[in-house]
């Protein structure tokens, strides 16, 4: 993961933690206010990756040399995005 990806992941985790803490202490409106953008952004990242996953296939646009490592790394990143998306939805529903 590059530095931009690490920064985005750190921001996501910080917002997730702040939203969870807000729900824990009863500030539901504040918690939902932070959870909705998390659902939107993590869902957008996952769907965008899913739509373009074929580019990382061996011989694809982003992997012309046919490396299996590129394909494996891309799948691992997509799994992380799915986990973050599901966690965001869970957090939002937790506040209802």
Using one digit for the tens of pLDDT, what is the confidence trace for 56-65? 888 888 888 8
Domain residues for the domain of 76 are: 3-94
**pLDDT reading at 2 higher than 80:** no
For the chain, the C-alpha Rg in angstroms (whole number) is: 16
In this predicted model, what pLDDT tens digit does every residue of 10-50 receive, in sequence order?
Answer: 888 898 899 989 988 988 888 888 888 889 989 998 999 99
Question: How far apart are the C-alpha atoms of 91 and 55, rounded to whole Å?
Answer: 32
Place of tokens 């966690």: 87
Q: pLDDT, tens digit, for every residue of 72-91?
A: 999 999 999 999 999 989 88
Listed residue (30, 22, 13) closest to 88, CA to CA: 13
User: What's the domain count of the chain?
Assistant: 1
What is the distance in angstroms between the CA of the first residue and the CA of the last residue of the chain? 34
Exposure letters 38-69 (e unless 16+ CB within 10 A, then b): bbebbbebbeebeeebeebeeebeebeeeeee
pLDDT for the residue 31? 87
Q: How far is CA 32 from the centre of its chain?
A: 17
Q: Is the predicted pLDDT of residue 96 greater than 60, yes or no?
A: no
pLDDT for position 95:
60
pLDDT of residue 3: 87
């Amino acid at each position: 993961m590059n530095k931009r990806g690490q920064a985005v992941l750190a921001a996501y985790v910080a917002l997730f933690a702040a939203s969870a803490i807000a729900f824990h202490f009863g500030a539901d409106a504040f918690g939902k206010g932070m959870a909705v953008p998390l659902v939107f952004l993590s869902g957008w990242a996952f769907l965008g990756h899913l739509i373009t996953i074929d580019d990382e296939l061996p011989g694809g646009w982003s992997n012309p040399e046919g490396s299996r490592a590129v394909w494996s790394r891309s799948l691992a990143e997509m799994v992380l995005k799915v986990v973050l998306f599901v966690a965001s939805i869970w957090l939002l529903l937790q506040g209802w």
